[in-house]
Chains A and B, each alone.
Chain A
C-alpha cells in the first residue's frame, strides 16, 4: 500500500510538473499585461517535441544520445524521494537529501558532457558557465541542508518535515536564513531570471540553454520535461520543508486530500513570488552570478551560525 502510494506520488509529481511551468508562464504574462497561452501549453509542447524526430550531429557520441534519458531518470528518481503530499513514504526512507543533491549533480555532469560532446562553441560555453554556477550553488545548497539537518538531527527529508511539523510554528532565525539561501540557489539551479533566461534566443547569453542548444525532437522534450520537474522539486522542497503544514502524515483519503490542496495553495503562492521577481528584474551580468551565489552561501552560513549560537541548548 505504502509503496503503491509512493509510486503514485512520484507519478503525480512528474505529471504535474508541466502544469506548474504553465501556471508560472500565466502569472508572468499577467504581470506583463499580456494574454498568456493556455496553462496546459507545456503538455502540448512536450507532445509536439515527442513526435518529432531528433536530429543528431554527425560528431555526436553515445553520451549525446544517452544524456536526455540519464537526465530525465535522475530527475524522476529525485522527485521520488521528495515528499509531495505525504511524509512517511518508503521511498523517502531509502535516500536522504545528500543523495538528492548527488542526483542533480549526476544529471548536470552528463548535460555538461553532452554540451561539449558535439564540439560547438556554444555547447562548450554553456557547459563552462553551468559548471561555474553549480560549483557555487552546490555548497550553498548543502549548507542550507546541513542547517536543517542540525535542527532536525537528520538528513532525511521526510523526518525533517515531521520534525518541523511536530515543533509547531516557531520562528527560527536559522530556518529563515536557510530558506532565503535555498530560494536564491533554486533560482540559479533552475536557470531562471535573473541568473539565466530560459526564453532567450541569444546563444551568447545562455547558460543552461546553450548546453542543450543542439538537442531537438524527442531528446529536447525529455530535457525540457526534466527541467520542469526540477523546478517543481525545488518549489516543493521550499514549501514542504519550511511550511510543511497540511502535508499528510497518515494515508487516509482525507489527509491525502488536504495534503494535495495545501500543496497546491503553497505552490501557487511560491510561483506568484517567483513570477513577480522575474518580471521586475533584468537578467544579471554573468559575472554577477558569483556575487549572487556568494550571497546565497553567506545567508545559509548565517543560518548555520545562528543555529549554533542561538538555538543549540547546552
Chain B
C-alpha cells in the first residue's frame, strides 16, 4: 500500500499533471483559461469561466487523484473570486472562478474532498458565499460575535469591526445527536485544565467506548485575514509569525516566500539557507516537546521532563544564537535579520552532538518500557485510506503512509540544494506518530548539518522591491506540522490587500475525529496530543 503511494509520487509521466488537468477540462467541455505565465508560480493558474462548472472541476480533480490543499476567496468589488489550490505529484495547481457579489453561490467541493468541508464553511461565514450541495452547511468560524448577514472579509466591512454590544452565548450550535440505551454525551472545553488553547469537544460514549467525537473550534478567531489588509510587507511577516505561536518560523517563511514571489524577488542564497536553519530548529524544538507531551499524557513523567529539558536547552541556544527563543520575526521580506557567524555554526554543531547523544539514551529508555508501549501501540489508529481521503499532512499523514513533504516533492530554497529523507510509518497509531517525529527529528538534525556545511557566503537580506499593483503570490513550505500554504495579494499602493494562511491543522483536525473512534474515553488526550493540531492556526 505505502510503497504504491510512494511510487505514484515519484514516477513522473511524460506530461505534467496541471497540463493533463487542463486538457481533460476541455475534453469534458469545461471552459477554462490557463494564465500564462502563471501569476502564482510555482503553481499553474487556471481560471474557470463559469462558476456553475466549479463542482465538475472538483469531480475531475478527484478522478485524477489531486489532493485538495486550500481554498480562499477575495472581494473584487462587484464579484467575489474563489480560488482552490490542488496538488498532485508535487505539482501545484490553482483553480479560480468568480461569482456575483450580490448573490454569491458556488457548487461545493466538500462532496468530493473532505478537506474542503471546513474551509468552505469558513469562507461562507466570512464572505457570505453559499456553497450549494455542501454536506454540512452549519456555521463554523462564525460564533455569535457577528450578525447573520455580516460578511467580515468583504471590503465593505470595517476593519475595526462592528460592535453589536455584548456577544450572546453560543449555546444553540446544532451538535450531532446520538441516542440510544446507555449513550451519553461528554462536553469537554472550550476551556481546558492545562495551559492550552480553547476548543470544544463533544463526545458520545457508551460506557468508556467512544461512538463519536465532534470538534467545535473557532474560539481563537483573531481576524488575522482582516487585520492583514493594508499592512506593509514587513508588518505582514510579523503578523504571519503570529498565526500560530509554535509555527512562527513556518508561517513567516511561507508569507515571505509568497510576497517575494509576487514581487519577483529572489532572496540571497545565504538568507535562504538561514531560513532553512530556522525552520529545522523549529521542527526539532516542537518534535521534542510533542514527544514529551505524549509521554506525559500517559503518565510517564520521566520522559516528559527529560524531553522537555532537551527542548529547553535547544530554546536557550535559539535565544543565544538568534536572539529569540521561538525564533519570532527572524524571517523578513527579502531575507533574514540574523546572520550565522562561524562561532554560532560551531555552537550549533556542538549542541546537535549533545542532543544526539542524550536523545538516543532517552529513546532507548522509552523504547524498552513495555508499559508505555502498551499505551501507545494500537491507540488512535488512522487508516492509511482515511489519511489519504482527508489529505492528512505532516507526521499525522506520514504515520499512516502518506509520504508527501513539500521539501522533497516540491522543493523550494534552500531544500532544492539538499537531500531530504521523508520517514514513513504505516501503523497509523499513536506510537507511529511518536516514531515518525523521532525519525523526522534525526532528519532535521542531519539537514541542519548539511545546511551549515553548505552555507554560502554573501548577503543575508536584500532591500524590498515593491511589486506591481495587484500582484499575487503563493508560498508553500513544510512547517513542522506539515505543508503550510500562504496566499498574498498586494493592493495598488504596495500594501497587502489579501492574506490567507492555511495551517496544516485545518486539514489535520478532522483526522482526530476519525482516529479516536472505537478508542476509550481516557485515551482521548494522548490521541489528541499525537495529532497536536493548532487551534490558533485553524481559527485564524
Verify if B359 is at the interface (C-beta below 8 Å from A).
Answer: no
Selecting from A111-119, A200-208, A298-306, the interface stretch reads A200-208
Contact of A202 among B187, B194, B369 (CB under 8 A): B194
C-alpha gap A200/B522 in the complex (Å): 12
Verify if B521 is at the interface (C-beta below 8 Å from A).
Answer: yes
19 A-B pairs whose Cβ atoms sit less than 8 Å apart in the complex: A33-B306, A121-B187, A200-B299, A202-B193, A202-B297, A204-B186, A205-B522, A205-B525, A280-B302, A282-B298, A282-B299, A282-B371, A282-B374, A283-B299, A284-B371, A284-B374, A285-B520, A286-B208, A288-B374
Given A33-B306, A125-B521, A287-B520, check contact A201 B375 (CB 8 Å).
Answer: no
Given A125-B521, A281-B371, A288-B374, check contact A193 B305 (CB 8 Å).
Answer: no
List 9 additional A-B contacts (Cβ < 8 Å) besides A34-B305, A199-B301, A201-B193. Answer: A28-B301, A31-B302, A32-B302, A121-B188, A194-B299, A200-B299, A204-B521, A205-B523, A281-B371
Verify if A11 is at the interface (C-beta below 8 Å from B).
Answer: no
Contact of B193 among A34, A203, A280, A284 (CB under 8 A): A203
Chain B residues, Cβ within 8 Å of A281: 300, 369, 371
Contact indicator per residue, chain A 25-42, by CB within 8 Å of chain B (1) or not (0): 000100111100000000
Verify if B500 is at the interface (C-beta below 8 Å from A).
Answer: no
Verify if A197 is at the interface (C-beta below 8 Å from B).
Answer: yes
A36: min CB distance to chain B, Å: 12
C-alpha gap A33/B208 in the complex (Å): 35
Interface residues of A (CB under 8 A from B): 28, 31-34, 121-122, 125, 193-194, 197, 199-206, 279-288
Closest to A121 in B: B186
Interface residues of B in 181-226 (CB under 8 A from A): 184-188, 193-194, 208
Contact of B185 among A31, A121, A122 (CB under 8 A): A121
Secondary structure class of chain A's binding surface, majority of residues:
loop
Chain A residues, Cβ within 8 Å of B188: 121, 203-204
Verify if B295 is at the interface (C-beta below 8 Å from A).
Answer: yes
Verify if B372 is at the interface (C-beta below 8 Å from A).
Answer: yes
C-alpha gap A32/B185 in the complex (Å): 38
Chain A residues, Cβ within 8 Å of B208: 286-287
Given A34-B305, A121-B187, A280-B369, check contact A204 B300 (CB 8 Å).
Answer: no
CB pair A33 B186 closer than 8 Å: no
Interface residues of B in 347-377 (CB under 8 A from A): 369, 371-372, 374-375
Verify if B487 is at the interface (C-beta below 8 Å from A).
Answer: no
C-alpha gap A206/B374 in the complex (Å): 18
Chain A residues, Cβ within 8 Å of B54: none
C-alpha gap A205/B369 in the complex (Å): 20
Chain A residues, Cβ within 8 Å of B186: 121-122, 125, 204
